[in-house]
Amino acid sequence: MGACAPKREEAPLPSATQIQMLSPQEKIIMQNESNYIFSRLNFKELSKSIKSESIDGSLSSSQLKRAFLDLEISLDELTSPESATFKLLSKVKNEKKLFEVRKLMLIAIFLGKGKASDKIEWLFRQYDIDASEVLEYNEFVTMTHEIFDVVSRILPAISIGEGVGSLTKEEYDEYSARIITGKDKAQMELTENFRVLESVRHDDFVKIMADDPKFKFLLSSTLVREYLRKYAD
C-alpha cells in the first residue's frame, strides 16, 4: 500500500460551532486559504525549497522563482497581477524589495500540509534568536507580532478579487484594519500568559504549542484572526 499524503494531523482547526460563528469575511478568507496553492504542498518541502535559495533571511525575485520551480508552481502565479500569489507576495517584501523568508515560512506554517510538530520546531528554531535553547520573553513577543501581521494583513490578500467567494479591495482593507486594532490587547494577554511560565525551554515550548489552549491556536490563521477580532470588537 502506498504512503498516504501528509495531513494536518496535529494542527488545530476551528470547530463546526466556531465556523458557524465566523464573520462573512472570515468565511471567505478561510475558503480561499484552503484552496490556495500552498495548501497542496508539504510544509517541509516548502521550507526546504525556500531555505535553499535564501540569503540572509530574504529572497530576490530570481531566487523565489527558482524555489517555485522546485515546487512545480507555475511562474504565472508570480508574474500575473491578478493571481492570488502575486497579491500575497507583494505584502512580504521589505524596504529593499526582497521577499522576507520568515514571513513566507509563516504563510507555509498556516497553509502547508504536515505535522504541527514540524511547524512548532521551526518556530522555536527561528525565534530562539540567540540559540540558547530557551525562548525568551522578547523573542516570544517578536514571534506573536509577526504572526499577527501575517494573518491579519498578508494572508487575507489572497481573497481579493471580484465576484462570489472574493473580497473587494475595500472589503479587504476594512477587515484587515479592523482586526489588527485588537493586536495590542491580544498581545498583552498572550505575553502575560507566557511570562508566568518563566523560562521556556525547547521541550516546554513544544508542549504548550501542541497542548495548551492558550497557545496552540497560534498555528491556525483563522483562530488567530478570531482571537484578534475578539479584542477589536
- Residues shown for the chain: 233
Span 209-222, mean pLDDT? 95
Give yes or no for a contact between 109 and 219, defined as CB atoms under 8 angstroms apart.
yes
How far is 27 from 16, CA to CA, in rounded Å?
Answer: 12
Structure confidence by residue, pLDDT tens digits, 152-161: 999 999 999 8
Separation in Å, CA 233 to CA 146, 183, 228? 21, 12, 9
9 or 39: whose pLDDT is higher? Answer: 39
69 or 29: whose pLDDT is higher? Answer: 29
CA 178-105-16 angle, 5° bins: 55
pLDDT-above-70 percentage for the chain: 95
Residue of 5, 78, 49, 26 lying closest to 221 (CA atoms): 26
Of 10-19, 99-108, 180-189, the poorest mean pLDDT is in 10-19
Structure confidence by residue, pLDDT tens digits, 139-156: 999 999 999 999 999 999
User: Cβ neighbours of residue 227 under 8 Å, at least 6 residues apart?
Assistant: 182, 186, 217
SS (HEC) of 39-107: HHCEHHHHHHHHHHHCECCEECHHHHHHHHHHCCCCCHHHHCCCCHHHHHHCCCECCCCCEEHHHHHHH
Q: Is the pLDDT of residue 2 over 60?
A: no
Span 74-94, mean pLDDT? 85
- The residue whose grid cell reads 540572509 is 56
